[in-house]
Amino acid sequence: MKIFNPNVSPKQQPNHESNREVTENCQWQSPLQPTQTFCLINQKGGVGKSSSCFHLAGAYAELGHRVLIIDVDPQGSISQGFFGSSAVEELTTSNSVSALFDESWQFSDWGSLIHKTRFDRIHICPANQTLAQYNSPTPEDAGMLQYALREFIEEQVDYDIVLIDCPPNLYRCTWTAMIAADWVIIPVTPEDFGTQGLRAVHQAIENARVLNPALRRLGHLVTRSDGRLLVHKLYERRLRMLYGEYVLQNLMPELSAFKVAVANRKPVQYHEPKCRAARLTRNLCREILDRTDVKTQRRRVA
Ligand SMILES: Nc1ncnc2c1ncn2[C@@H]1O[C@H](COP(=O)(O)OP(=O)(O)OP(=O)(O)O)[C@@H](O)[C@H]1O
Ligand SMILES: [Mg+2]
């Protein structure tokens, strides 16, 4: 499926009403080689996995990268962020990510699983409740299907960045994401890390490395922090003591602009490109790419 011509500048791409301003302001980046796949995991709910994924997708698209989001959460939060709840409820196994978890599905038409969004460079493989039946706590029972998402992503050569949004548990959906990804990002709120089960998250990453030795921890992403709260500062400091360089310098603080943008079904870069939340997300997406060895690989390609 050809969705974007890398030889043509962003201004010459089909220019959708909703992202015209951002597209005209964006800095054009050459395509990344190879595609970088990130999964956002944490077994604790409400830490900002989906929200971060949604806004990062907008920031990468604004920078000129072609983004594929894969929703492997049966809650379908990020899918609803783009399309609203009614449209997402109507999805079936054959036009959602569920197909990649269903052994009876024939791998003939990858294209039916990928949906365009309102934003030129953002596509999504969405999820809804039909995925819940496959999210078993014993993923190894899935046999070769553990690799289906990985194979699917390997076929998607037209994207620079793949972002996988995971559910708040470490069952089959998250496991499959880790088998498919290059990098793990762990969103954490600056609260009691014990209650976020971080040890179990790290153990799950180690276990996934048996099947995907290339999987690397990119780092913990501090989310929903309030710089005015001493307790948040202390927890952030503690996280940095515990995990050192495996904590991203840039944060996704608690800002209403993130929520308002989601309510308007737009990543913050498209909703309010000049606000603080948009600027912070842009910085974060640059740091994430800096932390990968993409630049080195690009130089080698060139
Ligand atoms: N940085 C932020 N600033 C303000 N609100 C945020 C931020 N991050 C997340 N939220 C809000 O917090 C709530 C939970 O966020 P989100 O759904 O992204 O968490 P999650 O980790 O994906 O949850 P789940 O584990 O249920 O999938 C949402 O209402 C979201 O809008
Ligand atoms: Mg979520």
Q: Which residue's CA is minimally distant from atom 14 of ligand 1?
A: 46
pLDDT digits (tens, 9 = 90+) for 103-135: 887 766 788 999 999 999 999 999 999 999 999
Bridge partners of 37, per DSSP, are 162
pLDDT cut 70: percent of the chain above it: 85
The torsion angle over the Cα atoms of residues 2, 22, 298 and 4, rounded to 10 degrees, is 10
| pTM attached to this predicted model | 0.89
> What pLDDT score does 300 carry?
47
3-class DSSP assignment, residue 4: coil
Whole-angstrom CA distances from 168 to 75, 165, 285 are 10, 10, 23
The CATH H-level (homologous superfamily) assignment of domain 36-301 is: P-loop containing nucleotide triphosphate hydrolases (3.40.50.300)
C-alpha span between 158 and 36 (Å, rounded): 12
Q: Which residue's CA is minimally distant from atom 15 of ligand 1?
A: 48
pLDDT digits (tens, 9 = 90+) for 139-158: 989 899 999 999 999 999 99
Give domain limits for the chain.
36-301
Q: How far is CA 134 from the centre of its chain?
A: 20
Low-confidence stretches of the chain (pLDDT < 50) are 1-30, 295-296, 298-302
> What pLDDT score does 108 carry?
67
3-class DSSP assignment, residue 64: coil
pLDDT cut 90: percent of the chain above it: 78
Q: Determine if ligand 1 sits within 6 Å of the CB of residue 55.
A: no
> What pLDDT score does 2 carry?
30
C-alpha span between 81 and 73 (Å, rounded): 13
> What pLDDT score does 106 carry?
72
Q: Residue count of the chain, please give it.
A: 302
C-alpha span between 75 and 55 (Å, rounded): 18
Nearest of 192, 218, 221 to residue 205 by alpha carbon: 218
Q: Name the token pair of 175.
A: 């496991």
Q: Determine if ligand 1 sits within 6 Å of the CB of residue 51.
A: yes
Ramachandran angles phi, psi of 99, nearest 5°: -55, -35
